[in-house]
Amino acid sequence: MSTTEQTVDTVTLHVDGREITVPKGTALVVAAAEHAGVEIPIFCYEPRLGPPIGACRMCLVEIEGAPKLQAACTLTCNDGMVVKTAETSAQAKEAQDGVLEFILLNHPLDCPVCDKGGECPLQDLTFRYGPGNSRMTLPKRTYEKPLPISPSIVLDRERCILCYRCTRFSGDVAEDAELVARERGAQSVIATFNEQPYSNAFSGNVTELCPVGALLPTAYRFKARPWEIVNVPTVCTGCATGCNTWSTLREGKVERILSRNHPDVDEGWLCDKGRFARYEPRDERISTPLVRGLTGLEPGEWDDVLRTTAQRLRHFSSVDGAGGVAIVTGGALTNEEALAWKAIADSLAARTASAPIAAAADWDRLDAYAAPLAAIDLADAVVVIGDQEPTDRAGTIDLRIRKARRSGARLTIVGPGGTALEPDAQQFLRTLPAAGSAMLAALTAAVVEAGGANVRSDAKTAGTVEALAADAGADVAQVRELAGTLVAAARPVLVVTDHVAATEIEALAWALGLDQTEGGVLPLPVGANERGERAVGLVGGWDEILPALEAGEVQAIVLVGCDPVVESTEGERWQMALAQTEVVVSVAAFTNGVTSQSQVVLPLDVEHERDGSVINLEGRVQRVRPSLAPVSGVPLIEWTSRLAGFLEISTHATSAKAFNALAADNPAFAGLAWGELGDRAPLNRTRPAATAPTAGVTVAAPASAPADGAFRLIAPRPLFSGAAVERTASLAHQRAPIVVVAHADAERLGIKRGDDVAVRHAVGEHVGTARISRRLLPGSVRINWRGAAGTGSTAVMGAQ
């Protein structure tokens, strides 16, 4: 995708006698630093938090003609401006000294015991600009400390310099308004609203925004000093966003995750899952090959286990012919590991599956309309379609969508309701659960009906707007309103959060001519490296494997880094099917739903242990780097190669070799080189030309109405789920069970906000705290079940 060249107006100004020319609208602090080479010190200025507020006053400068000193952060450069910073202006220097003196008046200066020490902006600026001693002879302000504001973050109010970065993040970026300033004047303190724990999914970002040691991650307190750590640049594989991170390594342990700002991917934000979730304790990990013996799973020798496994797999591949073996993955492998498993699958003529539904593979056809994450920033309309919240599949995308809305994009949420983005959206279009397919078809019909300069009238429609809207359970006038928005928008972005088949998305994208715009389609995959696994050839869906298992066609299955018993909506069927399968081999980090049914269990390498590359939801190839050795001592790619050897084929035993092989003949990796996978990976992809969709549009019907008294269940897999999250104590509050009840149902059943409510569904019982939603479709209930309990299936709800 090419961005149109725009002529940028520039202004010319003088900073400390240096003439600089900068684009119009550049903030003076930025211009000074980047163009004049003059650092203007700052504390509160952080452009990612929205407009500057000019609170800390550290950046005061003299502007010729202005009666008073001005905060450089709130000034944009004007033509002919003459600026004197503290470097050349005695008045500005005096003011800056004054501000730093004021900031330090009540600051405890406990750097020797402060975790921020050594990487603290206040410490650095004090060292460079600060006074040698203090004229403050009175007692300093003291507060109770440390104060936990959530299980993951502690607050030290004495160290706080009240720059309001944290409250601005909470109020203006995450838009939760949970962090607030209380009291006023010198007694102002940062607090959580109503003393509730800070529960936002992105709360950890405030620990990085804080320019002092006031907000610290609880897990990192008193853990390390900057000179005894190594920060390893890597990429988070908690979901498919691929946020760039640093992993802070100290004495063989990952102690902290920091953002490594990639503006096009994460903008320097991380979700709390990516930041705090750990695959710990390590001694509970599966660290050796295990074989089922008389007493259950027993440790075995690597070569013995791998040889036996190879023999068993080979046996069933030859006995049952093609497809007797299935290799099932779920996005947990690196591209290089996946390539090795692809070779093994080929040698066994095995079925493969890398995503919960096979239709996901069709999504690659949407590449002609693909929108990168950054397209959301430029969008004039953002439409989120699906039952699931975008953040559940791609954590930080939530922040980007909110930012787009604040910048003027029209946000529409399409789904059954009860999600976090709806309240601030310009339009909320309510549908039945699991109605994404019908809804997209209805929108396509409405777009074609509306027509317009860019609308392709040859787009296939599956019926009339009225009929399809009725199928989706949507108001037809609202569907037409949204179609109007989409037709009128120059750069619309469609975020699809459910695994609906690509045909409907493709039909809409074609009708709208999205391939011709800077907008596009952004479908959110389930697995972190689902795209990568698919790109190397592990295609197919779990939904294809399951019937084959049940029919006995597949007699040997290898589950690599996935647990369909928990992660699929058909967990119960999987459990039964696996129980009757001859050979179940699983590769897992911890014992889980499938290891208990496996004859062989092999250790899975998790993040911080893997060296390789992954492909994020945009198609961006990024490098993950190891901080730690795998718990087993043998990297997965290496033992996979040994397994391949026993199958008498050869796979690459190192990621570098595997990657070079991919780069040589796989279009997704074309032009890339292992040694050049940069720290901030570019999006190495061009849109293929769009062609008129050929497949007929078939509309999947939404779930039928449940029996009397039962509810339609909406239970997509939440962001805060998975083996690492469940083992991280400080994230317990993030996965506290909730039940979102429609207002009308709550009235009828006498359920109040905060009540304990039980929801019985096909896989189990979910007892959670009630939240009441006026937007959630009455007759349905939304839960944050740890697995994917399914959407559109039936549930029964009752007060606990």
**Residue 741: strand pairing partners:** 772, 781
**Residue 76: strand pairing partners:** 27
Phi and psi at residue 740, to the nearest 5°: -90, 120
Per CB under 8 A, does 65 bind another protein? no
Of 8-16, 68-76, 310-318, 509-517, the window that binds another protein (rule: CB under 8 A) is 68-76
Sign of CA dihedral 117, 118, 122, 125: positive
**Residue whose structure tokens are 């939304």:** 782
Of 69-77, 383-391, 424-432, 786-794, the window that binds another protein (rule: CB under 8 A) is 69-77
Q: Report, in Å, the least distance between residue 142 CB and another protein.
A: 6
Determine contact, residues 738/784, Cβ cutoff 8 Å: yes
Of 159-167, 365-373, 445-453, 537-545, the window that binds another protein (rule: CB under 8 A) is 159-167
- Cβ atoms < 10 Å from Cβ of 304: 11
Per CB under 8 A, does 98 bind another protein? yes
What gap in Å lies between CA 605 and CA 85, rounded to an integer?
52
Residue from 12, 64, 136, 670 touching another protein (CB under 8 A): that is 136
Residue from 6, 184, 675, 696 touching another protein (CB under 8 A): that is 184
Q: Report, in Å, the least distance between residue 119 CB and another protein.
A: 22
Per CB under 8 A, does 56 bind another protein? yes
Q: Which two tokens stand for residue 218?
A: 């609880």
Per CB under 8 A, does 101 bind another protein? yes
Q: In what order do the strands lie in the sheet with 381-385?
A: 427-430, 410-415, 381-385, 492-496, 520-523
CA distances from 604 to 160, 353, 588 (A): 42, 18, 5
Per CB under 8 A, does 109 bind another protein? no
Q: Report, in Å, the least distance between residue 376 CB and another protein.
A: 23
Q: Report, in Å, the least distance between residue 46 CB and another protein.
A: 14
Residues whose CB is less than 8 angstroms from the CB of residue 576 and which lie 6 or more positions away in sequence, other chains included: 550
Nearer to another protein by Cβ, of 99 and 270: the residue is: 99
3-state secondary structure of 232: strand
Binding track over 4-43 against another protein, x by CB under 8 A = ----------------------------------------
Per CB under 8 A, does 133 bind another protein? no
Burial of 534 (C-beta count, 10 Å sphere; 0-12/13-18/19+):
buried
Nearer to another protein by Cβ, of 189 and 758: the residue is: 189
Torsion over CA of 296, 301, 303 and 308, rounded to 10 degrees? -20
What gap in Å lies between CA 226 and CA 748, rounded to an integer?
57
Of 185-193, 425-433, 758-766, 769-777, the window that binds another protein (rule: CB under 8 A) is 185-193
Per CB under 8 A, does 103 bind another protein? yes
Per CB under 8 A, does 180 bind another protein? yes
Residues whose CB is less than 8 angstroms from the CB of residue 520 and which lie 6 or more positions away in sequence, other chains included: 1, 369, 370, 371, 372, 375, 493, 494, 509, 514, 687
Per CB under 8 A, does 261 bind another protein? no
Per CB under 8 A, does 143 bind another protein? yes
Q: Report, in Å, the least distance between residue 102 CB and another protein.
A: 4
Residue from 65, 112, 132, 185 touching another protein (CB under 8 A): that is 185
Per CB under 8 A, does 162 bind another protein? yes
Residue from 13, 31, 52, 330 touching another protein (CB under 8 A): that is 52
Of 187-195, 650-658, 667-675, 739-747, the window that binds another protein (rule: CB under 8 A) is 187-195
**Residue 177: strand pairing partners:** none
**Residue whose structure tokens are 């004054």:** 98
Helical (H) or strand (E) element with 782? strand 780-783
What gap in Å lies between CA 655 and CA 335, rounded to an integer?
9
Determine contact, residues 383/495, Cβ cutoff 8 Å: yes
Q: Report, in Å, the least distance between residue 94 CB and another protein.
A: 7
C-alpha closest to that of 390 among 244, 201, 209, 176: 201
Of 90-98, 214-222, 283-291, 663-671, the window that binds another protein (rule: CB under 8 A) is 90-98
Number of residues that bind another protein (CB under 8 A): 43
Nearer to another protein by Cβ, of 56 and 776: the residue is: 56
- Cβ atoms < 10 Å from Cβ of 729: 14
3-state secondary structure of 90: helix
Of 176-184, 264-272, 419-427, 512-520, the window that binds another protein (rule: CB under 8 A) is 176-184
3-state secondary structure of 314: helix
Per CB under 8 A, does 142 bind another protein? yes
Residue from 22, 27, 42, 99 touching another protein (CB under 8 A): that is 99
- Binding region for another protein (CB under 8 A): 51-58, 60, 68-69, 71, 74, 94-95, 97-99, 101-103, 105-106, 135-136, 138, 141-144, 161-162, 164, 180-189
